[in-house]
Structure 1
Amino acid sequence: MRELVERVGAWVRRHDAELLAELADWITQPSVSRTGEGMTEAARHGVALLERSGLAAEVVETAGWPVLIGTDPGPPGAPHVLIYGHYDVQPPGPLTEWTSPPFRPEVRDGRMYGRGTGDNKGQHLAQLLGLRALRELTGGLPCRVTVLLDGEEEIGSPHLAEAVRARIAPERPDLALWSDGPVHESGRACVVLGVRGVLAFELRATGSHIPLHSGNWGGVAPNPAWQLVQLLATMRDAEGRVLVDGFADSVTPLSPGELRALADLPVDVPTVLADIGAPGLEPPASAGYYQRLTSPTFTINSLTCEDAGEHRTVIPNVAIARCDIRLVGGQRTEDVADALRAHIARHAPGVEFTTGAAMQPSRTLPETAYTEAVLAGANAGLGEPPLLVPALGGSLPIASFTEQLGVPCYGVPLANVDEANHAPDENLELSWFRRGIVAAAAIQQAIAEAAR
């Protein structure tokens, strides 16, 4: 392994200028799934990247934006590894808040800036380049490989599961890998075993058909804002407990391996709070920092009375709350939605409940096969022992692999903590990009060796 890591590292240094140019070209190509900007051209560009890495590429059409798939048969009997990434990006947002244009990548102080550098073009390109390095240096890949690039991750991957059933399930992989999101907040490398799911929803309460003068109609006309606030108060108490019957009945307890991994994760809570300017942690006070990120949550994202910010002395006619639920292992978005719907029907039957984006949670246990191999490969390639993270607080559509395919799924983030994904001046530290290429190759080799 050491010799391979040294050879791949030398390959990266030898080709550094062209590899950075390849990354810049990929960032230059817009691929905003929400608006469609550049998506057709981006699919062609993505296919070319797959082919350049020696993979047989195809475009899998869906009812939305296509999925791109690249395959290599590998040696007979070798493990089959699925690598997931996404080629779509978030909209740029306010252009005036960018130091340089979002689709005109610029390198400053060892970072490349541009939309998609960290989320996710730079990270899946590092995976592809790791495969390319292995092919050029050893004549082939040590594993059978399928690369899947999703075109709709930033809009909830509504058609990914269907594509996985049709195209991936018939030749089921042994495990899945993904590189997305930042490394651990301490700056350490990490291997991630799962993600929380998400269910977004809207609550809409209505009163009269127009806003009414609060003096003339106060105490007479119903106020939908109070109705909504009182409903929300029945759904979660001041200690953070969700009061919706059936909300968390199916949560699977953490395994001994997960509990050990959580206990080993470093955290400086006062520093975390100071960095975000918060006076304290959200209740309950007894919950540990990482316990919070492996537990389900109920969040109010916004409350409004649709008064255009005028704050007049009126009884509003409409009140809206936009919320999200984060789910953990054992929960299902459809079951949680049913529990919410039943609770609202009991407590405020006139409030309209509408669901939005949804992703199932995904969980891989530390005790699962290939965990040690992925940790060993990441250690060798990144040059530091990675932390083992049972679950990210955020969400990704990888339940399509753990649930539909029944395979373990491992995340190896390759972006800096302050990558500013989804924000202006999104960036990727090029040292992580270069090390990520080496790690991608080393992980493939470690998986192959573990299967022998």
Structure 2
Amino acid sequence: MTVEQVRAWVEEHDEDLVSELAAWIAQPSVSRTGLGMADAAEHGLALLRTAGLEARQVETGGLPALVGTAEGPPGAPHVLIYGHYDVQPAGPEEKWTTPAFEPSIRDGRMFGRGTGDNKGQHLAQLLGLRALKELTGGFPCRVTVLLDGEEEIGSPNLAKAVSQLDVPDLAIWSDGPVHDSGRACVVLGVRGILTFELRAYGANRPLHSGNWGGVAPNPAWALIQLLASMRSADGTVLIPGFADSVAPLTEGEWAALADLPLDIPGALAGIGTQHMEPPAELGFYERLTAPTLTINSLSCADSGDHRTVIPDVAIARCETRLVGGQTPAQVTEAIRKHVERHAPDIEFITGGSMSPSRTLPETPYTATILEATERGLSEKPLLVPALGGSLPIAVLTDELGVPCYGIPFANVDESNHAPDENLDLGWFRRGIVAAAAIQLALGERR
């Protein structure tokens, strides 16, 4: 069995494969509101069965997960493929060129909610499996496919679904865009996230700043002083225990970072600035593997009136991006203790969180994944130690204790979560071939 045979299969069935993608996009599946989720679950189960898998719905206490399984040859690796069948809400209809759940093709791209995030990408994985099944009568590896129904709302019940699965040897996911340069890539990890809010209170109502200035406490100043105690002007996070557990980068990770293409002036010009955030000595990609402390918004709940008052409340909404070695619980406790020490009257309110995930380049499967991805996509992929953003991949790497590899099949400008979300059909077709190529290469390892 060769990759060229898979490529020929994709070309032969191209019209049907694109039609299947369109039908999947046309089925709404908005986890935030529940729109179409029940019908989407049935549609997803049918796709799993058509790929040659035994399919079942896994109850989690929330929206169900969909699981498909198939046995492989004795001694072959057990590969878990993760994706999610829920999508973001459509958003303002007037911002879409064509309706969000009425897929249309323009200039070689399919437009519609979920094309890139994530239906098109996990469908490419499923179609790669179907190609292998039809061409060989079976699969080169033991396979489990897990389609999450709650990724767009933070995957609160994913761990419950994962706990009902057999432990695989490795996991694969296809989500997010390829590298910013447009190059194919293999992603080894993602940063985690912890959101929180700080609320400082003053008097029981806003007060005239002339009559009460210098007398009534100003919660805005109290909040600003707390925030200043949390990070220095040079960018150093000053919260004790915040980053004590961060794992240093390995030689393989440093080497992968050094190989990534980089145009700092161009990247900064694209966002309308000339300077990066301090500290100055950190490299561009090194920053995306490091923890952050970010203020997302500041407010005195004045509805933008900007009256000459002393506010009664000041609010900072913040986040931290977490990296390997950190956990949401550990960072939460560090921030809580810092607030209690510096401003005990300011309220600390935690929000959502997601743990970071890390797979090392030195992991034995890495070379196989890279080589197979290159054969399937017909280009050498970049090795990306970690995405800057967050995905629920830690449930796989931490709960299952297995290496996890991301192989994105979406174009850089996929506009996921935004109007006119789209997927380049060239990437979709190449993704099918790459998905099959990876299974073939892993099967040869036994």
TM-score (norm 1): 0.97
The Cα of 1:401 is off from its aligned counterpart by 1.3
CA-to-aligned-CA distance 1:107-166 (integer Å, 9 cap, x gap): 11111111111111110000000000010011111000000000111111111112212x
Task: Quote the RMSD (CA, aligned, Å).
Answer: 1.0
CA distance in 1 between counterparts of 2:233 and 2:172 reads 39
Matches within 5 A, 1:182-331: 182-331=177-326
Q: Which residue of 1 aligns with 2:356?
A: 361
- 1:212, CA displacement in angstroms? 1.5
2:104 to 99, 103, 106: 106
The equivalent residue for 2:158 is: 160
Q: CA deviation at 1:426?
A: 1.0
Task: Report the counterpart of residue 380 of structure 1 in structure 2.
Answer: 375
What pairs with 1:322-361 in structure 2 (closer than 5 Å)? 322-361=317-356
Take 2:303 and 2:380, find their aligned partners in 1: how far apart are those partners?
Answer: 52
Between stretches 186-195 and 154-163, larger displacement belongs to 154-163
Partner deviation per Cα, 1:237-288 (whole Å, 9 max, x = no partner)? 1111111000000000011111111111111001101111122111111110
What letter matches 2:418 in structure 1? A
Give 1:60's match in structure 2, choosing from 53, 58, 64. 58
Q: Does 1:141 align with 2:136?
A: no
Select the residue among 125, 128, 132 that pairs with 1:127.
Answer: 125
How far apart are 1:360 and its partner, in Å? 0.7
Q: Distance in 2 between matches of 1:95 and 1:301?
A: 27
Question: In structure 1, what is the Cα distance between the partners aligned to 2:428 and 2:79?
Answer: 21
Structure 2 residue runs without a partner (length 5+) = none
Once residues 361 and 204 of structure 2 are traced to their aligned partners in structure 1, the CA distance between those partners, rounded to angstroms, is 56
Letter of the 2:376 partner, please give it. Answer: G
**Offset of residue 316 of structure 1:** 1.4
User: TM-score, normalised to structure 2's length?
Assistant: 0.98
Question: Which aligned segments of 4 or more residues in structure 1 are displaced greater than 3 angstroms?
Answer: none
**Matched residue of 1:403: which SS?**
helix
C-alpha contact (below 8 Å) 2:85/2:118 kept by paired residues: yes
Structure 1 residues 167-200: Cα deviation after superposition (integer angstroms, max 9, x where no partner): 12xx210000000011011100000111111111
Q: CA offset at residue 405 of structure 1?
A: 1.0
Query: Equivalent pairs: percent with the same residue?
Result: 71
The within-5 A match list for 1:34-45 is: 34-45=32-43
Alignment partner, residue 404 of structure 1: 399
Q: What is the DSSP-based 3-state SS (H/G/I as helix, E as strand, rest coil) of the residue aligned with 2:2? A: helix
Structure 1 letter corresponding to 2:90: P
Among candidates 27, 47, 50, match of residue 49 of structure 1: 47
Determine whether 1:91 maps to 2:86: no
Provide the rounded CA distance (Å) in 2 between the counterparts of 1:436 and 1:99: 26
Contact 2:265 2:274 in 1 (8 A): no
In the aligned structure 2, how far is the partner of 1:12 from the partner of 1:120? Answer: 20
Aligned pairs, how many?
446
Does the 8 A contact of 2:170 with 2:404 survive in 1? Answer: yes
SS at match of 2:391: coil
- Give CA-to-partner distance per residue, 1:321-361, whole Å, 9 cap, x none: 11110011111110000000000001111111111111111
Please, which moves more after superposition, 379-388 or 22-31?
Answer: 22-31
